[in-house]
Copies of this chain bind each other. A is one copy, B any other.
């Protein structure tokens, strides 16, 4: 009889397992956006490298699954080089801290950066190697506030030439047709490696992740690159355990443009940037601007000295965003400033806090508050399409970046001069909320700001004040 009851408990376990599984499956598809509770998310995996680390958010978390994106943070130490890799998805990155250099290698485009001396391909030995001059594709300076669009399959590298860590956050659009694989982010390494493996992938046996050359036979690499077998094997980096962010030994002498606001160091560089040899591609893909800075208050969309500023970057500003179907918003508000309640009409938003902290409330389709809490530096929260959100700074300064899954994300506000309440006839408001015409007028017209307001002070108002931004 003991066996029978152990059998019974076994079957019960099985039943529970099965029901748990069924529930999980049912939730996964098609009800993956029934978000009854949101959380401020922190990275779930840390990949340590020689000169930095990569922090990865779990893209299976309901908020991110529903939004169809994954998210990562790159911390590159001084003199750290994030080795070139590419992804199966479009990517939008934001430089949260620090400064550095960035290069992308776009297929079919020319090496427009050439060293100033005459090109000297001939060299006989190490003694004369200093006479050789390099040529490569465009290198850009990046700094805090830069927002960088990257198309799938395009290799990109970063180098920290400053003193403080270079921190970059990136969103990866898994749900777009730009990603033609499944809904997982996949870095492909040209150099470097990831000894821990792709820990964010479920249902895959983890192996250390190697570079692409590693997968080919060394004789294939030798033949393709016309090099000897030994060098081919070195490209495979098999004994390398430095990860994907390595420390540069000695100077990092890549050809680079002068910093913004400086005079060009050498005339030839300027020429190199414009003197492209033509195959028709240059005017479109090769020369497409992919970077813009969102930290300059003088170009803000909303700027109120006492409250803060909001800047947006959409495909009207940066046309390549139309192609990658993402856009961004940068916000910076002072203590007790409030971003008026709003919802995203046609996008999910991924909000990442770069500085300070804020009190945030988020309301879902059922009219329930699914988040009411503090988010602070380094945390992330997703605001799904249609969900309303209000933000109030609770530290001296609250700064964040929002990535949106639409090249032209539209915001609707619940309060303010361009709000939905202003657009509704008074009769709709009086009948909808069962309030008097006088109350309805106050509801419609009292707040004259469009986006930012003070959140402190007593809440007693009688008539509209003078309009402001």
Whether B246 lies near A414 (C-beta < 8 A) is: no
Once the chains are docked, how many angstroms separate the CA of A455 from the CA of B370?
58
Whether A341 lies near B216 (C-beta < 8 A) is: yes
A341 to chain B, nearest CB (A): 5
Whether A198 lies near B365 (C-beta < 8 A) is: yes
Whether B424 lies near A215 (C-beta < 8 A) is: no
Once the chains are docked, how many angstroms separate the CA of A439 from the CA of B405?
43
Residue in chain B with minimal CB distance to A411: B107
A31 CB contact (under 8 Å) in B4, B154, B184, B428: B184
With a 10 A CB-CB cut-off, give which of A180, A346, A434 has the most chain B CB atoms: A180
A47 to chain B, nearest CB (A): 14
Once the chains are docked, how many angstroms separate the CA of A184 from the CA of B34?
9
A340 within 8 Å of B by Cβ?
Answer: yes
Residue in chain B with minimal CB distance to A447: B226
| A138-187 interface (Cβ within 8 A of B) | 139, 151-155, 157, 159, 175, 178-184, 186-187
Once the chains are docked, how many angstroms separate the CA of A207 from the CA of B367?
10
A123 CB contact (under 8 Å) in B188, B428, B463: B463
Flag A352-389 by CB within 8 Å of B: 1 or 0 each: 00000000010111111110100000000000111010
A178 CB contact (under 8 Å) in B202, B346, B412, B421: B346
Whether B204 lies near A253 (C-beta < 8 A) is: no
Q: Which residues of B contact A203 (CB under 8 A)?
A: 23, 26-27, 31, 34
Whether B229 lies near A459 (C-beta < 8 A) is: yes
Given known contacts A191-B433, A420-B155, is B425 in contact with A461 (CB within 8 Å)? Answer: no
**Can you identify 30 A-B contacts, CB atoms within 8 angstroms?**
A3-B4, A14-B18, A34-B182, A34-B203, A84-B432, A107-B410, A107-B412, A109-B423, A113-B425, A121-B464, A134-B425, A152-B385, A153-B344, A153-B346, A157-B424, A181-B348, A188-B365, A190-B432, A213-B367, A215-B363, A216-B363, A217-B361, A223-B338, A223-B453, A226-B461, A229-B459, A231-B443, A237-B433, A254-B425, A255-B425
Which candidate, A5-13, A257-265, A292-300, is the interface stretch facing chain B?
Answer: A5-13
With a 10 A CB-CB cut-off, give which of A153, A232, A248 has the most chain B CB atoms: A153
Q: A121-B464, A210-B368, A240-B434 are in contact. List 15 more A-B contacts (CB 8 A).
A: A4-B7, A11-B11, A26-B202, A27-B203, A86-B386, A105-B424, A123-B438, A180-B348, A198-B365, A198-B366, A212-B414, A220-B390, A220-B392, A223-B454, A246-B431
A427 within 8 Å of B by Cβ?
Answer: yes
Flag A309-328 by CB within 8 Å of B: 1 or 0 each: 00000000000000000000
Whether A459 lies near B219 (C-beta < 8 A) is: yes
Number of copies: 3
A393 within 8 Å of B by Cβ?
Answer: no
A68 within 8 Å of B by Cβ?
Answer: yes
Whether B253 lies near A446 (C-beta < 8 A) is: no
Residue in chain B with minimal CB distance to A339: B224
Flag A117-133 by CB within 8 Å of B: 1 or 0 each: 00001110010010010
A275 within 8 Å of B by Cβ?
Answer: no
A413 within 8 Å of B by Cβ?
Answer: yes
Q: Which residues of B contact A183 (CB under 8 A)?
A: 30
Q: Which residues of B contact A86 (CB under 8 A)?
A: 345, 386, 412
A276 within 8 Å of B by Cβ?
Answer: no
Q: Which residues of B contact A78 (CB under 8 A)?
A: none
A405 to chain B, nearest CB (A): 6
- Going nearest first, the 8 A-B pairs with the smallest beta carbon separation are A153-B345, A215-B363, A210-B367, A191-B432, A105-B423, A222-B459, A254-B425, A137-B423
A385 CB contact (under 8 Å) in B180, B207, B429: B180
Whether B153 lies near A412 (C-beta < 8 A) is: yes
Given known contacts A27-B203, A225-B442, is B212 in contact with A33 (CB within 8 Å)? Answer: no
Once the chains are docked, how many angstroms separate the CA of A229 from the CA of B442?
12
| A41-96 interface (Cβ within 8 A of B) | 66-68, 81, 83-84, 86-88
A182 CB contact (under 8 Å) in B66, B155, B366, B463: B66
Residue in chain B with minimal CB distance to A87: B386
Q: Which residues of B contact A365 (CB under 8 A)?
A: 88, 186-188, 198, 209
Whether B215 lies near A364 (C-beta < 8 A) is: yes
Once the chains are docked, how many angstroms separate the CA of A427 from the CA of B252?
6
Residue in chain B with minimal CB distance to A30: B183
